[in-house]
Amino acid sequence: MKIAIATDHNGVSEKEKLKSILQQDYEIIDLSPNNDPLDDFPIYAFKVAEFVKNNTNSMGILLCGTGIGMSIAANKVKSIRCAHVSNVEEAKKAREHNDANIIAMSAKYDFNLISECIKVFLTTEFLNEERLVRRNKLIEEYEREHGNEC
Protein backbone atom coordinates (compact mmCIF):
# COMPACT_ATOMS: atom_id res chain seq x y z
CA MET A 1 0.00 0.00 0.00
CA LYS A 2 1.13 3.54 -0.77
CA ILE A 3 0.82 6.16 1.95
CA ALA A 4 0.91 9.82 0.97
CA ILE A 5 1.97 12.06 3.83
CA ALA A 6 2.22 15.82 4.19
CA THR A 7 2.40 18.47 6.86
CA ASP A 8 2.68 22.17 7.17
CA HIS A 9 5.57 23.71 9.12
CA ASN A 10 4.06 22.53 12.43
CA GLY A 11 4.62 18.82 11.91
CA VAL A 12 7.91 18.37 10.10
CA SER A 13 9.71 16.47 12.87
CA GLU A 14 6.66 14.25 13.52
CA LYS A 15 6.40 13.52 9.79
CA GLU A 16 10.04 12.46 9.62
CA LYS A 17 9.62 10.12 12.61
CA LEU A 18 6.47 8.63 11.10
CA LYS A 19 8.17 8.07 7.76
CA SER A 20 10.98 6.11 9.40
CA ILE A 21 8.45 3.91 11.22
CA LEU A 22 6.00 3.40 8.35
CA GLN A 23 8.51 2.77 5.57
CA GLN A 24 9.09 -0.70 7.04
CA ASP A 25 5.58 -1.75 5.95
CA TYR A 26 4.43 0.80 3.36
CA GLU A 27 5.65 2.80 0.40
CA ILE A 28 5.76 6.37 1.72
CA ILE A 29 5.20 9.32 -0.62
CA ASP A 30 6.24 12.60 1.03
CA LEU A 31 4.24 15.41 -0.58
CA SER A 32 5.64 18.20 1.60
CA PRO A 33 9.41 17.73 1.39
CA ASN A 34 10.28 21.43 1.79
CA ASN A 35 8.30 23.14 4.53
CA ASP A 36 8.88 26.69 5.73
CA PRO A 37 7.17 28.92 8.33
CA LEU A 38 5.05 30.65 5.68
CA ASP A 39 3.70 27.53 3.94
CA ASP A 40 -0.01 27.14 3.34
CA PHE A 41 -1.54 23.90 4.61
CA PRO A 42 -4.30 23.65 1.95
CA ILE A 43 -1.70 23.09 -0.76
CA TYR A 44 -0.42 19.98 1.01
CA ALA A 45 -3.90 18.73 1.87
CA PHE A 46 -4.91 18.99 -1.80
CA LYS A 47 -1.74 17.16 -2.90
CA VAL A 48 -2.39 14.23 -0.56
CA ALA A 49 -6.10 14.11 -1.42
CA GLU A 50 -5.41 14.12 -5.17
CA PHE A 51 -2.83 11.39 -4.73
CA VAL A 52 -5.27 9.19 -2.80
CA LYS A 53 -8.05 9.92 -5.28
CA ASN A 54 -5.85 8.90 -8.23
CA ASN A 55 -4.06 5.88 -6.75
CA THR A 56 -5.86 2.71 -5.83
CA ASN A 57 -4.61 0.95 -2.73
CA SER A 58 -3.43 4.18 -1.16
CA MET A 59 -4.20 6.20 1.96
CA GLY A 60 -3.15 9.57 3.30
CA ILE A 61 -1.80 11.17 6.45
CA LEU A 62 -2.04 14.91 7.14
CA LEU A 63 -0.53 16.81 10.07
CA CYS A 64 -0.81 20.51 10.88
CA GLY A 65 -1.26 22.68 13.96
CA THR A 66 -4.72 21.29 14.71
CA GLY A 67 -5.47 18.91 11.82
CA ILE A 68 -8.77 20.71 11.31
CA GLY A 69 -7.75 22.90 8.38
CA MET A 70 -6.09 19.98 6.62
CA SER A 71 -9.23 17.86 6.97
CA ILE A 72 -11.47 20.64 5.65
CA ALA A 73 -9.23 21.18 2.62
CA ALA A 74 -8.80 17.47 1.84
CA ASN A 75 -12.55 16.89 1.96
CA LYS A 76 -13.03 19.38 -0.89
CA VAL A 77 -11.53 16.78 -3.24
CA LYS A 78 -14.11 14.43 -4.73
CA SER A 79 -14.13 10.88 -3.31
CA ILE A 80 -12.04 11.81 -0.28
CA ARG A 81 -13.20 10.90 3.18
CA CYS A 82 -10.70 12.61 5.46
CA ALA A 83 -11.26 12.11 9.17
CA HIS A 84 -9.89 14.53 11.74
CA VAL A 85 -9.15 12.36 14.76
CA SER A 86 -7.87 13.02 18.25
CA ASN A 87 -7.75 9.54 19.77
CA VAL A 88 -7.37 5.86 18.90
CA GLU A 89 -11.09 5.09 19.08
CA GLU A 90 -11.87 7.84 16.56
CA ALA A 91 -9.13 6.52 14.24
CA LYS A 92 -10.64 3.04 14.44
CA LYS A 93 -14.23 4.20 13.86
CA ALA A 94 -13.16 6.46 10.97
CA ARG A 95 -12.09 3.32 9.12
CA GLU A 96 -14.69 0.83 10.41
CA HIS A 97 -17.75 3.03 9.94
CA ASN A 98 -16.80 5.72 7.43
CA ASP A 99 -14.23 3.96 5.25
CA ALA A 100 -12.06 7.07 5.62
CA ASN A 101 -9.07 7.15 3.29
CA ILE A 102 -7.12 10.03 4.89
CA ILE A 103 -6.40 10.76 8.53
CA ALA A 104 -5.74 14.32 9.74
CA MET A 105 -4.27 15.07 13.15
CA SER A 106 -2.72 17.82 15.19
CA ALA A 107 1.05 17.68 15.06
CA LYS A 108 1.00 19.07 18.62
CA TYR A 109 -0.31 15.85 20.14
CA ASP A 110 2.10 13.53 21.91
CA PHE A 111 3.99 11.59 19.24
CA ASN A 112 3.06 8.24 20.77
CA LEU A 113 -0.63 9.13 20.37
CA ILE A 114 -0.11 10.27 16.78
CA SER A 115 1.78 7.10 15.96
CA GLU A 116 -0.78 4.80 17.59
CA CYS A 117 -3.74 6.53 15.90
CA ILE A 118 -2.08 6.23 12.50
CA LYS A 119 -1.17 2.59 13.08
CA VAL A 120 -4.78 1.77 14.00
CA PHE A 121 -6.12 3.81 11.07
CA LEU A 122 -3.89 2.04 8.55
CA THR A 123 -4.60 -1.47 9.83
CA THR A 124 -8.35 -1.25 10.46
CA GLU A 125 -10.73 -2.45 7.75
CA PHE A 126 -14.12 -1.04 6.80
CA LEU A 127 -16.82 -3.21 8.41
CA ASN A 128 -18.91 -3.28 5.21
CA GLU A 129 -22.16 -3.69 7.14
CA GLU A 130 -25.36 -2.81 5.27
CA ARG A 131 -26.12 0.26 7.40
CA LEU A 132 -22.58 1.61 7.00
CA VAL A 133 -22.53 1.01 3.26
CA ARG A 134 -25.92 2.73 2.98
CA ARG A 135 -24.72 5.79 4.89
CA ASN A 136 -21.54 6.11 2.88
CA LYS A 137 -23.54 5.78 -0.35
CA LEU A 138 -25.77 8.67 0.76
CA ILE A 139 -22.68 10.86 1.09
CA GLU A 140 -21.35 9.72 -2.31
CA GLU A 141 -24.69 10.37 -3.99
CA TYR A 142 -24.90 13.86 -2.52
CA GLU A 143 -21.36 14.59 -3.67
CA ARG A 144 -22.17 13.33 -7.17
CA GLU A 145 -25.37 15.40 -7.41
CA HIS A 146 -24.07 18.62 -5.88
CA GLY A 147 -20.35 18.55 -6.57
CA ASN A 148 -18.56 21.71 -5.49
CA GLU A 149 -21.74 23.75 -5.13
CA CYS A 150 -22.30 22.56 -1.57
| Triad 5, 11, 15: Cα angle to 5° | 40
| Helix H or strand E segment including 42 | helix 41-54
Which residues have a catalytic role annotated?
Answer: 64, 97
Q: What is residue 147's predicted lDDT score, i.e. its pLDDT?
A: 77
Q: Which residue range(s) make up the domain with 75?
A: 2-149
CATH code, 32: 3.40.1400.10
Q: What is residue 150's predicted lDDT score, i.e. its pLDDT?
A: 43
Neighbours of 28 (CB within 10 A): 18
Distance CA 140, CA 54 (A): 17
Residues of the chain with pLDDT under 50: 150
Considering its fold, how many domains does the chain have in total? 1
The pLDDT tens digits for 84-114 are 999 999 999 999 999 999 999 999 999 999 9
Q: What is residue 148's predicted lDDT score, i.e. its pLDDT?
A: 62
